[in-house]
Structures are given as structure tokens and as C-alpha cells.
Amino acid sequence: MPSTSKTDLPHDRVWNFSAGPSVLPQSVLEEVQRDLLNYKGHGMSVLEMSHRSKVYGSIISDAEATLRRVLKVPANYSILFLQGGGTGEFAASYLNLMASRAVREKQQKLGKPLACDYIVTGAWSKSGLKEVKKLGANVNVVLDGVKSAATGETAYSGLPPVSEWNLGKPEETAYVYYCENETVHGVETPANFVVDAVDPSVPVICDMSSNMLSRPVDVSRFGAIVAGAQKNMGPAGVSIAIVRKDLLERDESDPEVTRNLPSVLDWCYFDGAASMPNTPPTFSIYVCGLVFKWVEKQGLETMEKIRDERAKMVYDIVDAHPEFFHGLVDKKFRSAMNLVFTLPSADLEAKFIAEAADRNMIQLKGHRSLGGIRVSLYNAMPVEGAKAFAAFMKQFYENNHRQAH
């Protein structure tokens, strides 16, 4: 629990390092607060508003337009507001790609099932692989972690050289899937690292749930980008898919095309109804729209500069004392969003978390499957938060490193 004492932050807030749901921009929260009871003079809250109303129609269309501007999404891509989170998109990505005319014609020409290539760099891409296996996908595992030359053991600590990848032949591959930032293991794939390695004829499907809007991205190089909102884009409850429109083309006359594709996962169903074939997560989309405007004011180049500045503050302490703060990821692939490390003992980790909480720094415990410490530095975390945390790390080291030996 955080300290019950007053903090130096506005509204007595804490430094929230949660991996998700996560910190939101203070100015966005204040705007939501101002308009909560009566949105822009319409006499009701967005929480109460019909999604079929003109007012809400303008909210969702403005959110889409803002995101399109921020990411420079080309006209031949659709932006969809969905439900089911990144986990729902594990299945949706596979089911929609395999229903597309382009993939089905390619498979028919090949005369056998196309392979779905999966790049596994941590817990979330591994979950995506598990999901499509359950659905009957013909899976080709391109890589699954990195094998240590010293021990021979495999770990999620980066990516091997592209020369060691097991990419399928382009004419035999439906798509390539990867997760760009692994929130559990703290592995982040450098921009363009995967798309540079994949034949341009093969659609690349990228889960950007936890580093979306943190740096510029060339959307035109992807078949689809999917992301849950609750890291960098807004509150939990909405996910987003940015899909190249040719991948939404289907042979609608053949009932087999969508026989096993539930409507709630059907990108075409949502695309044809402006993301509202049923009631969308209205409030979450509204807040996302405000976050998109907040990002737009700064620009993605500035967001990237700030994210790198925040991460460097923490990694500098880790690198200065590697015998005490043990980093788990190859430096080339360390995440700027989710920074993971361990301390010399479980007791010291518990003490670190407790003392941080006394200083109003919360949600630092590593994922239950990995342990250790995880500090999440998403877009809305001010540089001052990272600076305060780095100062705490330094002080904790000074006070405790001798007992660790």
C-alpha cells in the first residue's frame, strides 16, 4: 500500500508504475472530471450517452480521425474500435486473415494449408501462439526465445540474429505475427526489425499493445496492427485494430469463409458498421480520443525522445550496479516501456517494493510468472516520475548493497 501521507503531486496522487491498466495524462483526467456530469453542455455524461446519438457519433469519429493523423495511417487502412483486448486479437488476427480473399486464393494455389509464422519473444506472443494452435492453425515457429551459448538454456531475453530465424517460404506463408513489446519479460523489438526481415508479400501482424504511440511507426509496412488500450492509449475496455483494407476483402458468397468466425471477432463486421455494429465501450473510446489529442499536441518524435529519456534514467542505475540490479534482457532489446530486473534476494526485493510504496511509488512487483521488479514507464508517466524512481534506486543501493554480499 502507498503511504497515507500527503504527496507532493497534484491531487495527492502517487507515482503509478503499473503495467496496465496504467497511468493516464493528468490533463486528460482533469478534462474527464470537468465533463463527467454534463458533457459539453449536453446535460448528461458520456457514461449515459447512447452510442447512436449524434453527439457520441462525433466523439468516436473524432477519436478515429485523431489517431489516423497521429500515426499517419494511410487511406487504405481501416481503424477499428473493438472489445476483447489484445487476447481477443490473438484469435481475431488468425481468423480474419485466413478468411481474406488474398490468403484463401494463395492457399488454393499452393494446394495445402498455408503456415502462420509466429515470432515468440515472451509471454504474450507465446499466448498468441497457444491460442491459434487451439484453433487449428498450421503454425511455424520462427523463433522461441534466445538460446544461451554458455548454458544452452532458452530465455526470453531478446531475439537471435535474423540469420537464425526459421521464416517460412513467402509463397507458403499466410502471415507473420509478433508482439513488439513484451510487458512481462521486458523485451522490445526495435522499430522495423521484423518488417525488414519479412518478404513484403507476406502480411505482418503486430501486437503493439504496450508501446503504441510511444514512437513513430510506418503503418504501411504492416498488414495489421492490434493493441489493447490500457497501456498507452486509455482505460481498459477497448482494443484497436488498424487493418489494411485488401485483407478485409472476402468471397461473401461462400458460407465456409466465415463459418468459424464469431461476429464479435469479425473485423469486416465492425468495419462495415463504423466500429458500432453493437454497443461499443463508449467511455473508454471517449477517453482514448482525449489521449490521442494529448499525444498529437506533442508528436510521436517527442514521445519517443521522452520515452528514451525516462528509460535511460533507470537503466543507468541498473548498468552502474549490475551485481545488485540484475537486468534480464539483452541491452539491444531492453524495453523502454517495461523495465525488468531482479535484486540479490527475494527479501531485498520485498524490502525494495515496501520502501518504494512508502515513497508513494506503487505497482513495482514483477509479473507472478517471473518475479523480481518491473517498472512500467508508459507515455503518461512524467519524466519526474522516472527521475524520482531512479533516485530511490540509487539510495536503496547505498543503504543495502553491503548486506547483499
Q: Are 321 and 178 within 8 A, CB to CB?
A: no
Q: Are 337 and 376 within 8 A, CB to CB?
A: yes
Q: How far apart are CA 297 and CA 290, in angstroms?
A: 11
6 is catalytic: no
358 is catalytic: no
Instruction: Specify the length of the chain in residues.
Output: 405
State the catalytic residue, choosing from 117, 231, 266, 294. Answer: 231
Q: State which amino acid sits at residue 331.
A: K
Cα 250 versus chain centre, distance? 28
332 is catalytic: no
State the catalytic residue, choosing from 15, 106, 117, 124. Answer: 124
Long-range contacts of 352-356 (CB under 8 A, 24+ apart): 352/396, 355/392, 355/396, 356/389, 356/392
State the catalytic residue, choosing from 207, 266, 293, 294. Answer: 207
Phi, psi of 32 (to 5 degrees): -60, -45
Q: Are 295 and 70 within 8 A, CB to CB?
A: yes
Q: How far apart are CA 229 and CA 140, in angstroms?
A: 29
Give just the sign of the alpha carbon dihedral 206, 338, 152, 192.
positive
Q: Are 211 and 232 within 8 A, CB to CB?
A: yes
* Grid coordinates given for 378: 508508459
Q: Are 99 and 250 within 8 A, CB to CB?
A: yes
Cis before 281? omega within 30: no
Residues facing residue 118 across a β-bridge:
141, 177
* Grid coordinates given for 374: 518491473
Q: Which residues are catalytic?
A: 124, 207, 231
